[in-house]
Amino acid sequence: MERQEAFEKVVKILTPHVKNMKALDSVSDTTNILDDLKVNSARLVDVVLAFEDEFDIEIPDEDVDLVNTVGDCVNLILEKSS
Amino acid sequence: MGRITAPLWVPVCVAIMHLGFRWRIRGAAEARREFRRLRSESDAPILICANHLTMLDSFAIACALGSTWTYITDYGALAWNTPDREHFAGTWWKRALVYMMKCVPLDRGGDRRAVGNTLNRILYMLSKGEVALVFPEGGRSRKSRVDTEAVTYGVGRLVKNLPGCRVLCVYLRGDGQKFWTDTPARGEQFEIRVRSFEPKTDQRGMRASVDISSQVLHQLAEMEQEYFDGRQ
C-alpha cells in the first residue's frame, strides 16, 4: 500500500471524531491527533478499531501508546500491513 | 513510606470525611464484607471499577471499603488510584503526597505513551497483589449516568494481562447527586453497591480490551438501574 493512500484513509477515519475541523485543512504527518485535531482520547478506541477493520490488521494495545500524530498512525498501519 | 505513615494520615482522612464533610455511606458494611471475601478467597488480582460522579469518589470508596483500622493493619487493602495529574499532582509536593497515599497521577487525555506507562505501573502493582481502583468511563460521567458507550480500553488492558483477575464493580451515588460535580455536598448521604465478577473474552488485541471494558460498564449500568429502581 502506498503511504499517501494510507494517509488519506487515516484522515477519513479520523474525520468524524475531529472537533477542530480547521486543523483538517492543513493536516500532515506531524498533526497531533489529540492536541491539534482535538479528538477525544476516549474515542481513540473507535479509531483504532476502524483502522483494524479498514486495513485488516491487528494493533496491540502497547502499539497504541506510540500513536500521537497522524504520521504515527500511518507508520503503524504500514508496518502492520507489510 | 505510605505504609509507615499510614497510622498518621489514614485517621486524618477518615476524620475529614466523617467530621469535616459529614458524609455517611449506606451499604458500606456489605461492601466491606464482599471486599474482604474477595481478598481472602485467593491471591488473584482485584481491580475495583467504579462509576464516577465527583473528584472525591475514590476517597469515599476507600472509606466505604475499609475502616481506619483495616488500612493501618492491612495496608495492601488500600487501593492504588490514578487521579488526574492536573487536579491532584500539579506540584512536586502534591505528587509526593498523593504517591504516599497510593496514587499514580494520570494525564487524562494526554500523551499516549505517558498514559500507557501509568497503566503499566498499575499492572505491576496488581501483579504484586496490590488492589487498584479505576474508573472505566475514563472520566466523570458527563451524562450523570453510567455511559456504556464511553468505552475506554484501559480497564480491559489491565484485566486481560492479569490471569484470574477479579473485578469488583462499585456503584456509589449520593442521594443529592443529580449531576456530576467536582465534590459531593457536605452532609451527603451516599449509597454504595458492589458486585464482583471475572471478565472473560474470546477476542484478541484491542477488541479484547474493549470487550472487557464493555462488560464492566454494563455491570455498572445494571447496578445503577437497580439503585434507581430501589429508590422509587
In this prediction, residue A61 carries a pLDDT of 85
Name the residue among A52, A59, A68 with its Cβ closest to that of B111: A68
Asked if B149 reaches chain A (Cβ–Cβ under 8 Å), the answer is no
HSE of A38, CA atoms in CB hemisphere, 13 A: 7
Asked if B113 reaches chain A (Cβ–Cβ under 8 Å), the answer is yes
* Interchain contact, A49 vs B210, CB within 8 Å: yes
Question: Per-residue pLDDT tens for B27-54?
Answer: 999 999 999 999 999 999 999 999 998 9
Q: Which residue of A has its CA nearest to B150?
A: A42
What mean pLDDT do residues B79-98 have? Answer: 77
What mean pLDDT do residues B143-172 have? Answer: 90
In this prediction, residue B191 carries a pLDDT of 95
In the CATH scheme, what architecture does the domain A3-81 have?
A: Orthogonal Bundle (1.10)
pLDDT above 90 as % of chain B: 52
- pLDDT tens, position by position, for chain A (82 residues)? 789 999 999 999 999 999 999 999 999 999 999 999 999 887 888 899 999 999 999 888 888 888 889 999 999 999 998 8
In this prediction, residue B154 carries a pLDDT of 87
Q: How many other CB atoms are found less than 10 A from the CB of residue A50?
A: 17
What mean pLDDT do residues B185-194 have? Answer: 92
In this prediction, residue A1 carries a pLDDT of 72
What mean pLDDT do residues B86-115 have? Answer: 77
Residue at grid coordinates 505517558: B114
Could you give all domains of chain B from N- to C-terminal order, each with its CATH number?
Answer: 2-231 (3.40.1130)
Are A16 and A47 spatial neighbours (Cβ–Cβ below 8 Å)? no
**B170-197 burial: b if 16+ Cβ within 10 Å, else e:** bbbbbeebeebbeebeeebebbbbbebe
Q: How many Å lie between the alpha carbon of A58 and the closest alpha carbon of chain B?
A: 7
* Interchain contact, A60 vs B113, CB within 8 Å: no
Question: Per-residue pLDDT tens for B53-68?
Answer: 898 898 899 999 999 9
Residue B26 has pLDDT above 90, yes or no: yes
Q: Residue B88: pLDDT band by 50, 70, 90 thresholds?
A: low
For chain A, which residues make up each domain, given as ranges?
3-81
Question: Per-residue pLDDT tens for A25-42?
Answer: 999 999 999 999 999 887
The SS3 call for residue B221 is: helix
* Interchain contact, B112 vs A48, CB within 8 Å: no
pTM beyond 0.90: the answer is no
> Of A40, A45, A47, A49, which to mutate for an interface test with B (greatest number of B Cβ within 10 Å)?
A45
The better pLDDT of the pair B174, B111 is held by B174
In this prediction, residue B157 carries a pLDDT of 92
Are A40 and B139 spatial neighbours (Cβ–Cβ below 8 Å)? no
What mean pLDDT do residues B93-101 have? Answer: 77
* Interchain contact, A67 vs B116, CB within 8 Å: no
Bridge partners, residue B134, by sequence: B49
Q: How many Å lie between the alpha carbon of A43 and the closest alpha carbon of chain B?
A: 8
* Interchain contact, A59 vs B152, CB within 8 Å: no
- ipTM (interface pTM): 0.79
In this prediction, residue A15 carries a pLDDT of 95
C-alpha–C-alpha distance, residues A48 and B208, integer Å: 13
The mean predicted confidence, pLDDT, of chain B is 89
Q: Which residue of A has its CA nearest to B205?
A: A60
Provide DSSP, B104-155.
--B-TTS-HHHHHHHHHHHHHHHHTT-EEEE-TTSSS-TTSS--TT---SHH
Q: Are strands B131-134 and B189-197 parallel, antiparallel or unpaired?
A: unpaired
